[in-house]
Structure 1
Amino acid sequence: MTSFDTPLRRGAYLLFSLVFACGLAACGKETAAPAAVAAGAPAGKLDPANPVTLVVGVPRNFGYLSTLWARDAQTPGVKIEYKYFPNFVDMLTAFNAGQVDITEIGDVGAAQSFAASKGNVRVIAVTQPNAGNTGLLVAKDSPYQKFEDLKGKQLLFLKSTNTYLGVKHKIADAGLQEPDFKFVELAGPAAVKAFQTGQVEGYLTIDPNMADVVEKTGARLISDGRDQRIQNLYPYVTQKKVVEQKSAALAAFVHVLADTIAWAQANPDEQARIVAPKIQFSESAIKTTFGRGAKALQPIDARFLAEQQANFDELLAAGVLKEAVQAKDLYLADFNGSIKPSADPR
Structure 2
Amino acid sequence: MPPRFSPTASRLRRPLWIGLLAAAAGLLANPAYSAETVRIGYQKSSTLMTLLKTQGTLEKALAKDDIKITWHEFPSGLPLLEALNVGNVDISADVADTVPIFAQAAQAKLTYFAEEAASPQAQAIVVRQDSPVQQLADLKGKKIAVTKAAGSHYLLIAALRKAGLKFSDIQPAYLSPADGRAAFENDKVDAWVTWEPFLTSVQRQLPTRTLADGNGLASYKRYYLTSTRYAQAHPEVLQHVYAQLQASGNWVKGHPGEAARILGPLWGNLDVATVEAANAHRSYRVQPVKREQLAEQQQIADAFFAAGLLPKAVDAGAVEVWQP
Whether the aligned pair in 2 keeps the contact of 1:312 and 1:324 (CA below 8 Å) is yes
Q: How far did 1:131 drift? A: 1.6
Q: How far did 1:161 drift? A: 4.0
Question: Which residue does 2:102 correspond to in 1?
Answer: 112
CA separation of 1:284 and 1:51: change in aligned 2, threshold 3 A: farther
1:324 to 309, 313, 322: 313
1:66 to 47, 50, 54: 50
Question: Which residue does 1:150 correspond to in 2?
Answer: 139
Greater CA drift, 187-196 or 302-311: 302-311
Question: Which residue does 2:290 correspond to in 1?
Answer: 301
Question: Which residue does 1:243 correspond to in 2?
Answer: 231
TM-score by length of 2: 0.77
Whether the aligned pair in 2 keeps the contact of 1:155 and 1:200 (CA below 8 Å) is yes
Question: Which residue does 1:314 correspond to in 2?
Answer: 303
Matched, 1:134 2:118: no
In structure 1, give the amino acid aligned to 2:237. Answer: A
Aligned residue pairs total 289
Secondary structure at the aligned position of 1:123 is classed as strand
Q: How far did 1:302 drift? A: 4.5
> For 1:3-18, what aligned pairs fall within 5 Å after superposition?
none
For structure 2, list consecutive stretches of 5 or more residues without a partner in the other structure: 1-29
Percent of pairs with identical residues: 23
Q: How far did 1:271 drift? A: 0.8
Secondary structure at the aligned position of 2:220 is classed as coil
Secondary structure at the aligned position of 1:327 is classed as coil
> For 1:43-54, what aligned pairs fall within 5 Å after superposition?
53-54=37-38
2:276, 2:90 → 1: CA distance?
A: 28
- The structure with more radius of gyration: 2
CA separation of 1:325 and 1:179: change in aligned 2, threshold 3 A: closer
Question: Which residue does 2:202 correspond to in 1?
Answer: 213
1:84, 1:169 → 2: CA distance?
A: 32
The structure richer in strand per residue is: 2
Secondary structure at the aligned position of 2:92 is classed as strand
Whether the aligned pair in 1 keeps the contact of 2:302 and 2:313 (CA below 8 Å) is yes
Matched, 1:81 2:65: no
CA separation of 1:78 and 1:115: change in aligned 2, threshold 3 A: farther
Q: How far did 1:77 drift? A: 2.9
Matched, 1:254 2:242: yes
Q: How far did 1:130 drift? A: 2.5
Greater CA drift, 302-311 or 252-261: 302-311
Greater CA drift, 320-329 or 211-220: 320-329
2:86, 2:168 → 1: CA distance?
A: 39
1:212, 1:80 → 2: CA distance?
A: 34
